[in-house]
């Protein structure tokens, strides 16, 4: 890129509920000349955008196709059940799937949890989105099981949530096409991994000057001391201090 060209941007997509603010702030501090374009997309569309080249990297929910994507797992979320505030399970600190046996458990089409068998009773129809399912919970139609971040994203004053144990969990990862690992992707990898500005990020960087080896230091010291007068380093006529300053003086009273 020449000085006359505008800096390219780094295009990052992220799934609903994922909070990229901290990483975006660090990017803006370290890469002020490379704007970061941040776009929230439905969880199921992120991989298609990455493969089509419409995004450079994504904060996505696992799994991803590891034959075409590189991925760095970042964290795993706790799973919760969203219920009305007057629901019976609010009396407990955490809930088991068995506690939901008599409830209609809504299963939106954009669900990000990998269920083998959904707890509770199925609804007559699956809601199109998690947001639609939350509205149904508020209407008393059923309850909803989601990652904690999605419960917070769709928070309502008339709803609450409790941790659901023995349930699938959702993991978030940084993913990008394996054959498109650019310098900017490497920079963002360094940020999400907590590397400092001066740490190695897997691509060429300006190296700090190496400290001289011990043998080199010894040689330099010998060169500096060459030609100095010997004899303990004291020169004649410099008036060096005597161990007994009274020696050689006449004594009084003799």
What pLDDT is recorded for position 80?
Answer: 98
- Whole-number Å distance between alpha carbons of 210 and 5: 35
Mean predicted confidence (pLDDT) in 177-202: 85
**Torsion angle of C-alpha atoms 114, 117, 123, 125, degrees rounded to 10:** 50
Interval 145-167 mean pLDDT: 97
Task: Return the HEC string of 160-221.
Answer: EEEEECCCCCEEEEEEEECCCCCHHHHHHHHHHCCCCCCCCCCCCCCCCCCCCCHHHHHHHH
Residue 206: the pLDDT is: 41
- Cβ pair 181, 114 in contact under 8 A: no
Nearest Cα to 67, choosing from 171, 170, 177, 172?
177
Helix, strand, or coil (residue 145): strand
Give the whole-number percent of the chain exceeding pLDDT 90. Answer: 72
The whole-number pLDDT of residue 196 equals 81
- What are the pLDDT digits (tens) for 103-152? 999 999 999 999 999 999 999 999 999 999 999 999 999 999 999 999 99
| Lateral strand order in the sheet of 79-84 | 105-106, 143-147, 79-84, 159-163
Q: pTM of this prediction?
A: 0.73
Query: What digits encode the pLDDT tens for the residues 70-110?
Result: 999 999 999 999 999 999 999 999 999 999 999 999 999 99
Instruction: Transcribe 62-119 into DSSP letters.
Output: SP--TTTEEEEEEEEEPEEEEEETT-GGGGSSSB-GGGGTTSBEE--TT--S--SS-S
What tens digit of pLDDT does each residue of 16-37 get? 999 999 999 999 999 999 999 9
CA torsion 19-25-28-29 (nearest 10°) is: -150
Task: Please report how many Cα atoms fall inside a 13 Å half-sphere around the Cα of residue 14, on the Cβ side.
Answer: 16
Closest CA relative to residue 131, chosen from 113, 106, 114, 167: 106
Element (H, E) at 131: helix 130-138
Q: How confident is the model at residue 6 (pLDDT cuts 50, 70, 90)?
A: very low
Mean pLDDT of 202-216: 48
């Amino acid at each position: 890129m020449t000085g006359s060209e505008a800096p390219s941007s780094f295009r990052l997509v992220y799934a609903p509920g994922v909070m990229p603010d901290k990483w975006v702030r660090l990017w803006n501090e370290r890469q002020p000349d490379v704007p970061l374009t941040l776009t929230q997309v439905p969880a199921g569309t992120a991989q298609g955008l990455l493969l089509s080249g419409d995004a450079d990297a994504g904060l996505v929910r696992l799994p991803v196709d590891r034959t075409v994507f590189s991925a760095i797992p970042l964290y795993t979320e706790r799973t919760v059940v969203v219920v009305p505030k007057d629901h019976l399970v609010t009396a407990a600190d955490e809930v088991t799937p068995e506690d939901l046996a008599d409830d209609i458990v809504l299963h939106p089409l954009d669900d990000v949890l990998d269920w083998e068998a959904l707890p509770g009773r199925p609804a007559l129809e699956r809601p199109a989105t998690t947001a639609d399912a939350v509205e149904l919970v508020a209407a008393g139609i059923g309850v909803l099981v989601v990652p904690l971040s999605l419960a917070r994203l769709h928070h309502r004053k008339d709803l609450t949530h409790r941790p659901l144990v023995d349930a699938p969990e959702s993991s978030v990862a940084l993913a990008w096409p394996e054959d498109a690992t650019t310098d900017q992707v490497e920079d963002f990898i360094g940020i999400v991994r907590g590397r400092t500005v001066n740490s190695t990020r897997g691509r060429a960087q300006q190296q700090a000057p190496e400290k001289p080896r011990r043998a080199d230091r010894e040689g330099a010291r010998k060169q500096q001391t060459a030609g100095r007068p010997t004899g303990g380093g004291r020169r004649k006529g410099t008036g060096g201090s005597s161990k007994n300053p009274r020696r050689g003086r006449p004594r009084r009273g003799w």
